Amino acid sequence: MKKLLLGLVVAAAAAGCATTTSPTGRTQYVGAVSQAQLNQMGAQAFVETKAKTPQTKDTRQLAYVRCVVTALIRELPADSGQGTSWETAVFVNDEPNAFALPGGKVGVYTGIFKVAKNQDQLAAVIGHEIGHVVAHHHDERITRQLMAQGALGVAGELVGSRYGQGAANTTTQLGGMAAQGFFLLPNSRDQESEADVVGQRLMAKAGFDPRAAVNLWQNMIAAGGSRPPQWLSTHPDPQARIGELQSRASGLLPTYEQARASGRKPRCG
């Protein structure tokens, strides 16, 4: 009965949203917020990050990153952000990370230069992050989160009406763990793999070597750092990820070679 009720709540929540097909053919639930709201949220998050984290004073670093971003977004479809005025910032932070936000915001941490050794590897990082935006992953995450919260709220009320508030609180907590492990996190792994696909295609079309994505993740692994078990991680297993990137790179070489032959030869750094 509980499973049926939860299913009905999720179905009702989904009915208020839209379904679309992702770049890799997945069915996505989106539409909990409008694109204008997403852009506003992205802009606000970017402003807050700039307020909290110092930006590099190295103009060469900033020009380098902007060059890579410009080459990548030039290859975006018109309806996926090509016409957006993209803003780029380089933050002084040792973490090897980067991000892209709806509304055309790209942030790169200086720590990424430890693992992204050249422009092609940096393009793999930034292409992946832009891939999240192009594939509407922010919209999807917000929509799924709202669906999960709605289902948990109803489940808690049902248990509480019969067994008391303590049981309701426990149900909500346990349900939250279940939703995180089996509903939200698996979607995140799908999104990470999908962003790899989109980003690698994008970098090849822009004239960056798609094989560099493999080298990047090899560098990431060599840099070390503990990670949670694969089933409780928002990222695919690194070795499996490298295998997929390597296999895909071979198929993208003609795209890369055609881009180069057409004059798309980025000279960023």
For the chain, the domains span: 2-261
Q: Is 168 left (phi over 0), alpha (psi -120 to 50) or beta?
A: alpha
Does the pLDDT at position 207 exceed 70?
Answer: yes
> Which tokens hold the place of 20?
């679309």
The SS3 assignment for 208 reads coil
Sign of the C-alpha dihedral computed for residues 51, 62, 211 and 214 taken in this order: negative
Q: HSE, CB side, 13 Å, CA atoms: give it for residue 28.
A: 24
Angle at 249 between CA 243 and CA 255, to 5 degrees: 165
Pairing between strand 87-91 and 105-109?
parallel
Say what the pLDDT of residue 185 is.
46
Task: Determine which one of 129, 140, 192, 194 is catalytic.
Answer: 129
Task: Please say if 194 is a catalytic residue.
Answer: no
Q: How large is the angle between the packed helices 185-205 and 212-222, nearest 10 degrees?
A: 130
Residue whose entry in the numeric block shows the structure tokens 């957006």: 84
Mean pLDDT, the chain, whole residue set? 79
Whether the per-residue pLDDT at 136 is higher than 70: the answer is: yes
- For residue 233, name the pLDDT band (cuts at 50, 70, 90): low
What pTM was estimated for this model as a whole? 0.78
Give dist(CA 2, CA 8) in Å, integer: 10
Residue located via tokens 């808690």: 156
Do the beta carbons of residue 115 and residue 220 sit within 8 Å?
yes
- 8-22, 43-57, 150-164: which range is least confident on average? 150-164
Averaged over 143-167, what is the pLDDT? 51
Greater model confidence, 158 or 265: 265
In angstroms, what CA-CA distances link 125 with 20, 64, 129? Answer: 26, 14, 6
d(CA 45, CA 224): 29
Mean pLDDT across 188-196: 86
pLDDT for position 12: 42
Q: What integer is the mean pLDDT of 134-145?
A: 83
Using CA atoms, how far apart are residues 264 and 205, in angstroms rounded to an integer?
8
pLDDT (tens digit per residue) in 54-97 = 999 999 999 999 999 999 999 998 766 555 689 999 999 999 98
What was the pLDDT predicted at 211? 97
Give the confidence band of 148 by pLDDT, cuts at 50, 70, 90: low
Identify the pLDDT of residue 50.
94
Is 210's pLDDT higher than 80? yes
